[in-house]
Structure 1
Amino acid sequence: MPLQLNIRRVQPADIPQIVAVERASFTDPWDERTLQESLACYPETFFVAKNNGDVAGFVAGGVEDTGEEVYGHIMNLAVASGYRRQGVGEHLVRRLEQEYLILGASAVQLEVRVTNTGAQEFYRRLGYREVFQVAAYYANEEDALVMMKWFRF
């Protein structure tokens, strides 16, 4: 049966299901409080993909205004295991990028583990490029690769 995805802004009632997806997706998941804080700080750029009431995935974004430029920041993206490789992550990223364009962002950035080649390839397919590496970015001291996508030059 094809997915019937509904992508919308996260509501507080979505957080428990999002926590479950987060815990199943990462070795060092965000806790419920961090997800709630993300929703409180950036309610306009925190989206959930639902399929028949199930959380298929989510993306948490932030906005950074340097005074000269506005940047979007993909802070967290996870897709529930039963929904992976079906376009859910791409739909979520595209919806977030659309919001960033509305907010006047000139680019979007994200961090990904240097060992997470699958995620790096996913983002490359969506137009993101590596810009630099950050040493010991993650709790386990693993380096992060910073990737960006520019909307205008």
Structure 2
Amino acid sequence: MREDSHRIRKMSPADINSVQDIERISFPDPWARETLEEALVTFSDTVFVAENAKGICGYIICGVEDTGEERYGHICSLAVDPESRKHGVGAALVRRAENAAIIQKATAMQLEVRVSNSSAISFYTRLGYEPVFQICGYYSNTEDAIVMMRWFRY
């Protein structure tokens, strides 16, 4: 595998340490190991890692939620190692999670992003996500979140 190429596969318990390392680098309030382990069990069909020649370079944790009227995919966490950013890893992870959600009959994908995270907002906008509303005080530091959605057309 070329150093700049990557492959996407389902996350396994052996990946937790690498995912946790990327989580710590990427977020001011990273998930605890127990939370990552629980997500792996709960969302086993919709959690993925990206690997390159150096190892795990990104991950996505996604679930599918049934409201009784609709089924939505929900990106709970997405991060790419800083050295691997801007190489299509994040977009590939999102598309793989979207496909997994569609297989489970989801009609859309949603996520929350910090209002201050303009690069993430731009990234998701490029992938077809639209802001739909804002949640006041969503994050642990009371920062607001923007909820973004992408509706699937099939």
Is TM more than 0.5 here?
yes
Write the distance in 2 (CA, Å) between the matches of 1:81 and 1:141. Answer: 26
Counterpart residue number, 1:130: 131
**2:27 equivalent to 1:21:** no
**Percent identity of the aligned residues?**
52
Gaps of 5+ in 2: none
Counterpart residue number, 2:50: 49
Write the distance in 2 (CA, Å) between the matches of 1:118 and 1:4. Answer: 23
2:3–2:52 CA contact under 8 A, matched in 1? no
Counterpart residue number, 1:101: 102
Give 1:4 deviation, angstroms: 2.8
Gaps of 5+ in 1: none
Give 1:36 deviation, angstroms: 0.4
**Greater Cα offset, 29-38 or 134-143:** 29-38
**Residue identity matched to 2:50:** A
Counterpart residue number, 1:34: 35
Write the distance in 1 (CA, Å) between the matches of 2:19 and 2:151. Answer: 28
> Residue deviations 1:41-89, cap 9 Å, x none?
0010000001125111000001100122110000000000110111100
Match of 1:109, SS state, is strand
Counterpart residue number, 1:66: 67
Write the distance in 1 (CA, Å) between the matches of 2:58 and 2:27. Answer: 13
Write the distance in 2 (CA, Å) between the matches of 1:120 and 1:91. Answer: 17
Q: How many residue pairs get matched? A: 153
RMSD after superposition:
1.2
**Residue identity matched to 2:41:** A
**Residue identity matched to 1:141:** T
2:3–2:53 CA contact under 8 A, matched in 1? no
Write the distance in 1 (CA, Å) between the matches of 2:54 and 2:36. Answer: 20
Give 1:31 deviation, angstroms: 1.2
2:135–2:147 CA contact under 8 A, matched in 1? yes
**Residue identity matched to 1:11:** S
> Residue deviations 1:80-104, cap 9 Å, x none?
0110111100000011111111111
Write the distance in 2 (CA, Å) between the matches of 1:101 and 1:63. Answer: 9
Counterpart residue number, 1:113: 114
Match of 1:43, SS state, is coil
What TM-score, normalized to structure 1? 0.96
Q: Which runs of 4+ in 1 moved over 3 A?
A: none
